[in-house]
A and B are shown apart, each in its own frame.
Chain A
Amino acid sequence: MFYWSLAMEYMKNYAKTKLTYRADFWVELLSDLLFQGVNLIFILIVFQHTPALGGWSEAEVVFVYGYFMVPAGIFGAFFNIWNFSDRYIVKGEFDRVLTRPAYNLYQVLLENLDPPSLFGSLVGLVIMVLSWGDLGLAFSVVDILMMVIFTIGSIMIYAGLFTALTAISFYSDAPTGILPLMYNISNYGRYPVNIYNKIIRFTLTWLLPFAFVGVIPASYFLDKDHAGLSKLAILTPVMGIVVGAIGLGIWNLGVKKYRGAGS
């Protein structure tokens, strides 16, 4: 209850700051979408020149991309601490966070909300529904349930990985550049993983499981089983719990090590 009311207060605060630059809010939202849209445009342009991508049809690849946008959008809205090292460690704002009674990571996340990102999820859902029709897939209530479970699993994978990487700043305050690096690797998961070579494929499935935030859970809904991916789909929530727990563990260890910088 306490945590819920906190979230509400932060939301209100966010709305107030955004209302000062109203026009800019919309431009930002649009440019965010465009940012996401580039990959979609890439897919659409490319499929004008080829009928299939590694055995996947256009509607299927678009469907996978639509799925990817849903967890990615929710994740982006709640996890926006890309400047954590600068703001909280180097400038020392983490001291302030630690003196308060709510869980530190929760506070940090709420201070950096980015709700416009949720709009991407909405667009992703629309894309999924449209290509669902294109593909002529059967629909059942179970699909909605699975969609919710997969989405939560995917978000936890993202959250776990990036929390763990952000926690590196507790150990080293020098910029490591590993976050943008990982963010770029995550792009690989949006496309059918069977087009990559074995090493990359293994990495994306088991080591940095970005394939579980995109192609693997999405293939559960498709009729055709590509490269045995839909069998793995059911593991999405399991991977989510494992990766999420590891991420949180590394974070908590890091907080223990935190000494505060400067004055």
Chain B
Amino acid sequence: MNSAYLELIRIRFLMMLAYRVNYYSGIVIYTINIGAYYFLWEAIFGDQKVLAGFTLAQMTTYVAVSWMARAFYFNNLDREIANEIRDGSVAVQFIRPYNYLFVKLMQGFGEGLFRLLLFMGPGLALVCLIFPVKLPTDLGTWGIYLVMLLFSFLINTQINMLVGLFAFFVENNEGMLRMKRVVVDLFSGVIVPVSFFPGWLAVTMKWLPFQAITYLPSSVFTGRTAGDDVLRVFGIQLIWFLVLIIPIALIWRMARTRLFVQGG
């Protein structure tokens, strides 16, 4: 049984590998984005040494690692699930002897593995050459960061699944998918670190899962979060991962009884 899931990871990885040329331009695009924000932040800091707890050096590292982490955890599982529901091919998945959501998770993981090795890895190396990014020197920081990165991927995938599964309930959830993408980019801290948000918004964000995707791991990476705080922050990620299982399981149970295929 488990070997079937491993096979799914392998196949998706190979599939991505076949189209790897698409991702070379991806590296350049992400570098361009990082560059834009690098110059912006440089101008924003101006003569100021510290803004919202960030020094300019930390901010540069934060921007670089956050975008490159996005290169890893990003996937289109939401769209894939929504499409399979709309065109009805999900019905075939129901009769197969495996769990559909696990299959999607494994495919996402295969894609993530590809993105980690051929997108995030070389991307980060390239960015380090161009911009003054300071990588952590402590091996422990790297270790905990990699674990947190895995949870970034898991939580982002869970949110993708939730939004994708909504296609069971509405005829066309394209708008919702797009909205989700914007919300995740904005609130996860890729574009602006959560500590820059005005008071009320920052407090709201503390109670939402998005910060666990980018802000928390990147804070550990830049060394802003250290010591016992690292464990606390990792705990937040772990809790969100567990909590998000509940709505997915509920929706999945509800959804199976009301599949509505359009023109299938």
Binding site for B on A (CB under 8 A): 21, 23-24, 26-28, 30-32, 34-35, 38, 41-42, 45-46, 48-50, 52-54, 174-178, 180-181, 184-185, 187-188, 191-192, 195-197, 200
Contacts and interface: CB of A to CB of B under 8 A. Distances in A.
B25 interface: yes
B191 A38 contact: yes
A49 B33 contact: no
A196 B39 contact: yes
Nearest to B42: A195
Given A45-B192, A180-B29, A195-B43, A28 B186 contact: no
B52 interface: yes
A177 B39 contact: no
Contacts of B198: 45, 48
Instruction: Among A26, A38, A45, find the residue whose CB has the most chain B CB atoms closer than 10 A.
Output: A45
A177 B22 contact: yes
Interface string B26-41: 1011001101100110
B179 A187 contact: no
Contacts of A191: 36, 40
Interface stretch (B103-111, B170-178, B215-223): B170-178
Instruction: Among B32, B33, B40, find the residue whose CB has the most chain A CB atoms closer than 10 A.
Output: B40
B84 interface: no
Contacts of A32: 178
15 contacts: A24-B171, A24-B174, A27-B174, A27-B176, A28-B175, A28-B178, A45-B197, A49-B44, A49-B52, A50-B45, A50-B46, A53-B43, A177-B29, A185-B32, A192-B43
Nearest to B41: A46
Given A28-B175, A184-B32, A185-B32, A46 B182 contact: no
A197 B25 contact: no
Contacts of B43: 53-54, 192, 195
A187 B182 CA distance: 16
B147 interface: no
A263 B51 CA distance: 61
Given A31-B179, A45-B192, 5 more contacts: A28-B174, A35-B178, A38-B191, A52-B46, A177-B24
Nearest to B46: A50
B141 to A, nearest CB: 27
Nearest to B197: A45
A41 B52 CA distance: 17
A30 B196 contact: no
A181 B36 contact: no
Contacts of A178: 25
A53 B42 CA distance: 9
Contact of A53 (B25, B44, B48): B44
Contacts of A28: 174-175, 178
Given A28-B175, A195-B43, A181 B192 contact: no
Given A34-B182, A35-B182, A38-B191, A188 B36 contact: yes
Nearest to A21: B172
Decide if the interface of chain A is mainly helix, strand, loop or mixed.
helix
Interface in B158-200: 170-176, 178-179, 182-183, 185-186, 191-192, 196-198
A185 B174 CA distance: 26
A38 B32 contact: no
B191 A42 contact: yes
A45 B200 CA distance: 12
Given A46-B196, A191-B40, A200-B39, A27 B182 contact: no
Contacts of B171: 21, 24
B54 to A, nearest CB: 10
Contact of B29 (A38, A53, A184): A184
B182 A49 contact: no
A207 to B, nearest CB: 15
Contacts of A188: 36
Contacts of B197: 45
A158 to B, nearest CB: 17
A177 to B, nearest CB: 3
B178 A31 contact: yes
Contacts of B170: 23
Contacts of B24: 177
Listed from nearest, the 7 A-B pairs whose CB atoms lie closest are A27-B175, A177-B25, A195-B43, A31-B178, A31-B179, A28-B175, A54-B43
Interface string B50-70: 011000000000000000000
